[in-house]
């Protein structure tokens, strides 16, 4: 992996580069039922719990942002709520495993402390041995989404952050590490150094799912986003590799665009070109299944060339 500071690339440049890269192979929409006709989007990748494959998904009416997270299991090609599973008043769920714990999290919204009538947000974390015994263990700083955890090769916990405002602008990715889940603190997250050279002025992004690679590097699945002149949002799924010991980082690269997914509705017109990176399932044949939310209205699965295997081959 390169040792220099990565090249800061705009969404436009990344799109141009992606046109010359291997393109996605297959696509399908995921069918959900049992949630009263509401949309299911911004899903996690499937994970194992109690011998079943489970997907966490954001459930929401098309004309609302009052969101719940359900856990779904597949029954004859349709994903339905898992009987007895908890339901959380959260947005944008994510799942990982750290030190033997199933770690689940999402974005909690609450009234803004200063701006009347506005909402604020924070990332909340739960852990347990299964979904049925999840208990809260950490709440991130107010105003920060996209905090993600990964168990590193030496047993410590890597923490990816996304500050905004004075430190992070519209949103940049930071990284720190702690010895255990018990050592996770708001101060550690707020003090996490930013990863250099990733986002151009006016653009933003964050980490969505973290993969520990076979050689100890970390593969980051995330997003990069920008506005166009009409203030429409454009969200692109991206990846990069990161060395948690040295801070070395690869250039970002896109893995798909909204056009690679099947056509479908959008929650609002300005969200038509949005892909939310949910998760990757890496497969032995050199491909990966990429699970994503599209246009804040649906969930789809795209089969792509495994974007992380080339970093594992680097030793």
How do residues 257-288 score in pLDDT, each as one tens digit?
999 999 999 999 999 999 999 999 999 999 99
What residues does each domain of the chain span? 11-312
Q: Write down the pTM of the prediction.
A: 0.95
- Mean pLDDT to the nearest integer, 173-193: 97
Residue whose structure tokens are 């916990």: 157
pLDDT for 2 beyond 70: no
Instruction: Quick: pLDDT tens for 128-175.
Output: 999 999 999 999 999 999 999 999 999 999 999 999 999 999 999 999
Q: Which CATH number fits domain 11-312: 3.90.226.10, 2.115.10.20, 3.60.15.10, 2.30.30.190?
A: 2.115.10.20
Structure tokens at 33: 């039922």
Beta carbons within 10 angstroms of residue 283's beta carbon: 11
For residue 94, the cross-strand partners are: 105
The pLDDT confidence band at residue 3, using thresholds 50, 70 and 90, is very low
Residue 100: name the closest of 160, 157, 21 by CA.
157
pLDDT for 4 beyond 70: no
Identify the pLDDT of residue 113: 85
Identify the pLDDT of residue 1: 61
What is the rounded CA–CA span in Å between residue 188 and residue 276?
27
């Amino acid at each position: 992996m390169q040792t220099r500071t990565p090249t800061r690339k705009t969404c436009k440049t990344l799109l141009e580069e992606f046109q010359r890269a291997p393109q996605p192979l297959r696509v399908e929409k995921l069918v959900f039922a049992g949630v009263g006709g509401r949309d299911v989007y911004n899903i996690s990748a499937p994970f194992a719990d109690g011998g079943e494959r489970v997907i966490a998904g954001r459930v929401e009416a098309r004309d609302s942002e009052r969101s719940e997270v359900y856990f779904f299991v597949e029954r004859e090609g349709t994903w339905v709520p898992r009987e007895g599973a908890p339901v959380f008043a959260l947005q944008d769920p994510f799942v990982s495993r750290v030190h033997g714990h199933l770690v689940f999290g999402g974005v909690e919204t609450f009234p803004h402390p200063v701006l009347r009538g506005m909402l604020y947000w924070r990332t909340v974390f739960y852990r347990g041995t299964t979904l049925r015994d999840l208990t809260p263990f950490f709440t991130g700083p107010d105003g920060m989404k996209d905090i993600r955890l990964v168990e590193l090769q030496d047993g410590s916990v890597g923490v990816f952050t996304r500050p905004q405002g004075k430190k992070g602008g519209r949103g940049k990715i930071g990284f720190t590490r702690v010895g255990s889940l018990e050592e996770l603190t708001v101060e550690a997250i707020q003090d996490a150094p930013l990863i250099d050279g990733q986002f151009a002025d006016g653009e933003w992004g964050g980490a969505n799912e973290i993969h520990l690679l076979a050689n100890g590097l970390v593969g980051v699945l995330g997003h990069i986003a920008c506005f166009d002149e009409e203030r429409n949002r454009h969200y692109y799924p991206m990846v990069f590799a990161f060395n948690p010991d040295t801070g070395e980082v690869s250039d970002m690269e896109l893995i798909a665009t909204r056009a690679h997914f099947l056509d479908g509705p959008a929650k609002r017109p300005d969200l038509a070109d949005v892909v939310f990176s949910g998760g990757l399932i890496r497969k032995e044949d050199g491909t990966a299944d990429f699970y994503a939310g599209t246009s804040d209205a649906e969930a789809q699965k795209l089969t792509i060339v495994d974007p992380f295997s080339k970093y594992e081959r680097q030793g």
